[in-house]
Structures are given as C-alpha cells and as structure tokens.
Amino acid sequence: MSNPVIVSVGPVTFEDVIAVARHDARVTLSDEALAGIQRSREVIEALADDTVPHYGVSTGFGALATRHIPVDMRTALQRSLIRSHAAGTGPEVEREVVRALMLLRLSTLATGRTGVRLETAQAYAAVLSAGVTPVVREFGSLGCSGDLAPLAHCALAVTGEGVVRDAAGTEMEAGAALGAAGIEPVELREKEGLALINGTDGMLGMLILAIDDLRHLLKVADISAAMSVDGLMGTDNVFKPDLQELRPHPGQAASAANILAVMADSPIRASHDTADDTRVQDAYSLRCAPQVNGAARDTVEHAARVAAIELASAVDNPVVTLDGRVESNGNFHGAPVAYVLDFLAIVAADVASMAERRTDRFLDKARNHGLPPFLADDPGVDSGLMIAQYTQAGMVSELKRLAVPASVDSIPSSAMQEDHVSMGWSAARKLRRSVDALSRVLTIELFTAARGIQLRAPLEPSPAEAAVIAALDAVTRTAPGPDRFLAPDIDGAWQAVTDRSVVAAAESVTGPLR
C-alpha cells in the first residue's frame, strides 16, 4: 500500500476519507469508539429475548416488518438480509468510492449508536487496512433506507461471500481474500445486518471526493481564465479588489484575486494598457469569470458544510439513543446529501460552459485580436484546434444533461412502505461524470490559452503563466506548429491538470492560490 498512515476512526474527517479512499491509509478503531460500540451492543443483546418486537432485532424488514422472528432464526434473518440486498448490477464502481463508503459506514458504527458487535466493526477496519475492496455495482441504490445494495455488497464480503478485489486489484472470492489477509469472516447477529447497510455512506463518500476535486479544479478554472484573458488581450482592471468588495461574495473575491495573481507582471497585458486601446469592456466570459467561478466556490463550500454535518452523524434505523432506547427514525433519507450533489452538477456545468466560450473566442479570428484562425499554423491546410473545441462543446452539452437534478425524482419501493426516496446515489454517480468532464473541458481551455499566448511572441506571458506552460510542456506539446495527432497532446495536458502539477506550477510563482 502506498500510504501506511493509520486513521483512528470515530468520527472521521474530510482528510481521513481522502487518505483511506485515495491513498490506502490503514484504519484502526480508537479506544473511545470501542467502548461506545460495546455499550450499544449490550443494549441490543438485552432486547434479544424481549417479547416486544424491535425492528431489525426481532422483526423482518421494510414492508415485512410486521413479522416477528423467533430467536433461533435471527442469524438466518441477518444473513438473508445481506444476501438479498446485495442485488446491484451494471459496471463496477470505482475502488476509491467503495473504500470511502466502507470507511464512512465504519465511522457510523464507531459512534456507538448502531448496536453492532466489536468484532464486526473490527472486521471492517481490517478489510480496509488489507486493501481488500468488495466489488460494488453501479445500480442498486435509491438513496433511501441508505445506499442499501452497495453497502450490502460490502457487508456480504465481510461475511466471506461475494466477490472482491485484493490489494493488487485481482478479482477473487471474498472468502479466499479474507483468508489470505488473515481476516476471520463475520457471522452477523441481531441488528447487525441492518446496521451495515442503512446509511448514506456511498453518496456521502462521493460527495467528499467531488468536493476535493472541485476545490482543485476551481483553481484550475481561475488559472485557465487568467491565461485566456491575457491571451485574448483582455483587461485585468475588472478583477481589482475594490470592485469585488461592492458585491462581497467570498468566492468571487477569491477567484478575482487568483486571476490577478496569475496575470501579474504580464508583458502581454502591459503591451495594450495604453490610450490606443479603445475597448470599453471585455466579453462576459472574460469579465465575469470571478462571478461564475466564485459562485461555484461558494456552492462547493455549502456542500462541504452539509458533508461535515453528515460526517458527524449516526445514520442508522433503528438507532440506539444516548439514554439506551432503540428507536426507529428517518435519518437514513438521503435528501440533504442528494440536494448538494445536484447543486454541484449544476456548478460543474456552468463553469465548463464559460470555459468553452473562452476557448471558442480564441479560435475565431473575428474575436481573438490578431491570432490566426483556430490557432492554425497554415489556416486552410491546417485546422489547428478547431476540433478540440468540438470535443469541448460535446462535453459541455453532456454536462448540461447531467445537471438535471436526480433528487426531484422518486420511485416508491418496498410495497409502498418506502414511498419517497432521494435518488442521492444517482445524483452522486452523475456528479462523478460531471467532475471528470469539467476537468477535460478546463484542460482544453488551458491548452488553447497556452498556444494562444505563445502566438503573441515576442511578447512574453506573466511569470505564473510561463510556469504553467512549462508544466504542460513537460508532459505534452502546446507550442504552435503544423497539425499533429492532437489527442495525445490533450491527454498529456489533462494528466498535468488532474495530478495537480498545473496548480503547483502556478503557485510556485504566486504562492498559495485561494
């Protein structure tokens, strides 16, 4: 494993989720968590022989909750619950998502509000630490009563059934993988099956991963916007702090400050800062970049506040209360998370839409202030970046479709017992596609701006812009010239964006961007 850091569970932070999901950090349970788990388990075991029915302990589930289950059938009840609910289908879900949702479920177990046994929680920690990842499928969750099917596939693996991938990525039977890792399969007891699947952990995990990505990509959006403004002979006067203070949204101020920092000391900007430049103002896609990128930032931070509340929550049904009651509740409903997942898909679409407009402006000789059509070497013989913009436009169109909210949909389930669902898992899945598309749209703008700036020679870019171009050219080719196979150039630039070397290059000059 690439990162031996141990995350002590209960409760976890944003940084913990990223460390476990993306960097294979190992997991252990704190003493406080172990004590809380033990206390709540004692409550459940005290109810095991109660003649009064308790949901999830001595009853069936969902619409079958009216049936009382005798003591000698309760192990079978839990086993049947997990087997039947592991009903996902479709493409395999990404490893980082599965690791995030398992950690988040373990975090809820560690609150001491779910009633599981110590050995069950410890098995989750061991599976994560061993790098064993259950195979979870794309479709199966309605985002209510928790992410049932995805979490059931994980619970099934911990019992030694189903399919997993080991730390090397090899697909194998769960029992074999657990044995190889020295992990004893769990035989679930009263309440445990329900506790392992009744949470919003899948959608929350994907929300946290998306927030991490979007915080980075919005810095990229400011860098690419700054380079487009400069390469298109635009003005940075509109980004001055006193103008932002007239409309004091924090994200807008941060974005404008970033753009100013990237453009600072640009000879290109200085070359037309004269009385001969008669343009009154730039187009919206240049002038209003902080308003769009900034509003996106503020939306991401709202989503982060929602995620922080979820991280501090115990999402289960029924739940063991602080005073020892076992109560049914509706905290498993995914609406709070689903809404912000949808908000972020809207944000991604709009930031990408504005970036595409700046790219198109670079390629149009009527609007690019003296650059060749499509930034081609020999226009007519060469097409330059014409089709790169087509690719960008296709992704923006897809982003707009992905911005249609999932959370406004609801299909009743479980014989109308679960008659309103959040579709939060679906919102999360489409947001992942949106974030990926946004990264590619911004890459094409950045690539285009780098070429456009180089075509302004002998004028030089700003120091920060020059550092970004150098970072791109370390892995791809942005320089003007005759047409060449363009896809590898774009893919190389995308790698520099997603591995965060573009932002690092800019910050090597500007200092930390906001």
pLDDT in tens, 228-270: 999 999 999 999 999 999 999 999 999 999 999 999 999 999 9
List the one residue out of 93, 126, 76 whose CA is nearest residue 201.
93
Q: Which pLDDT belongs to residue 47?
A: 79
In what helix (H) or strand (E) does residue 339 lie, and over which residues does it extend? helix 335-363
Residue 170 to residue 25: CA distance in whole angstroms: 19
Residue 372, burial from CB neighbour count under 10 angstroms (0-12, 13-18, 19+)? middle
List the one residue out of 125, 103, 123, 109 whose CA is nearest residue 12.
103
CA end-to-end span of the chain, whole Å? 32
Q: What is the DSSP letter of 376?
A: -
Q: Which pLDDT belongs to residue 63?
A: 55
Q: Which pLDDT belongs to residue 1?
A: 43
Torsion of Cα atoms, 263 then 264 then 270 then 276, to 10° = 60
In what helix (H) or strand (E) does residue 164 lie, and over which residues does it extend? strand 163-165
Q: Which pLDDT belongs to residue 19?
A: 96
Residue type, 131: G
Q: What is the DSSP letter of 477?
A: -
CATH number of 206-510: 1.20.200.10
- The CATH classification of domain 6-199, taken from the options 3.30.1300.10, 3.40.50.2300, 2.70.98.60, 1.10.275.10: 1.10.275.10
> 55, 284, 339, 390: which is the annotated catalytic residue?
55
Tokens standing for residue 361: 């402006």
The angle at the Cα of 395, spanning 394 to 399, to the nearest 5 degrees, equals 120
Q: Which pLDDT belongs to residue 274?
A: 80
Ordered per-residue pLDDT tens for the chain, 514 residues? 455 678 888 789 999 999 999 999 999 999 999 999 999 999 988 877 666 776 666 666 665 666 777 777 778 888 999 999 999 999 999 999 999 999 999 999 999 999 999 999 999 999 999 999 999 999 999 988 789 999 999 999 999 999 999 999 999 999 999 999 999 999 999 889 989 998 899 999 999 999 999 999 999 999 999 999 999 999 999 999 999 999 999 999 999 999 999 999 999 999 998 877 767 799 999 999 999 999 999 999 999 999 999 999 888 888 888 888 888 888 888 899 999 999 999 999 999 999 999 999 999 999 999 999 999 999 999 999 999 999 999 999 999 999 999 999 888 887 777 778 888 999 999 999 999 999 999 999 999 999 999 999 999 999 999 999 999 999 999 999 999 999 999 999 999 999 999 999 999 999 999 9
CA distances for 430 relative to 14, 59, 96, angstroms: 21, 36, 16
Q: Which pLDDT belongs to residue 5?
A: 76
Scan for tokens 């004091």, then name that residue.
Answer: 248
Note whether 427 and 224 are within 8 A (CB). Answer: no
Q: Three-state DSSP class for 328? A: coil
Note whether 130 and 167 are within 8 A (CB). Answer: yes
For residues 128-147, one letter each, b for 16 or more C-beta atoms within 10 angstroms of the residue's C-beta and e for the rest, the string is bbbbbbbbbbeebbbbbbbb
Chain mean pLDDT for the chain:
93
Name the region of 289 (left: φ>0; alpha: ψ -120 to 50; beta: rest): alpha
Segments making up each domain of the chain, as ranges: 6-199, 206-510
Residue type, 337: V
Handedness of CA 299, 303, 306, 311 (dihedral sign): negative
Residue 271 to residue 257: CA distance in whole angstroms: 22
Active site (annotated) includes residue 55: yes
Q: Which pLDDT belongs to residue 182?
A: 97
